[in-house]
Amino acid sequence: MRIGILGPLQVRDTAGRPVEVGGRRLRALLVRLAIDAGRPVSAARLLDDLWDGDPPGGNALQALVSRLRGAAGRDVVEHGPGGYRLGVDPGEVDAVQFERAVAAARRGGDPARRATTCAAPSTCGA
């Protein structure tokens, strides 16, 4: 699965087909998890972020996670002791690819080489 959060949200399955993630809050959950790709995000943090500091009672977060799993696949969200985590390799998130490309370009030394590194579609997630 590939997730694009730089610009409009784009989700593609492993075959490259678009995956529809409907609903503002559902998309917000996916983007929030993608921002911390590879790291768990606590339920308290998600509740605060997704409901602007005024989370509903009950199991609203669990219901939202269930809906996201239904839309994007069972393995898209993992749950563990630290909270919820995007169940996708961090390198499949365009923002992570971009951060890695920028870091590699900074190590490049020569400005022309650095520009080439950042302009390459394979390193910048295009």
Residues 15-28: pLDDT tens digits? 999 999 999 999 99
Pick the CATH number of 2-89 from 3.40.630.30, 3.40.30.10, 3.90.1150.10, 1.10.10.10: 1.10.10.10
Looking at residue 111, what is its pLDDT?
Answer: 76
- Tell me the pLDDT band of 96, cut-offs 50, 70 and 90: very high
Ranges of beta strands (E only) in the chain are 2-4, 10-12, 77-80, 83-86
Task: Locate the domains of the chain by residue range.
Answer: 2-89, 93-124
Q: The whole model's pTM is what? A: 0.85
The separation between CA 4 and the C-alpha centre of its own chain, rounded to angstroms, equals 7
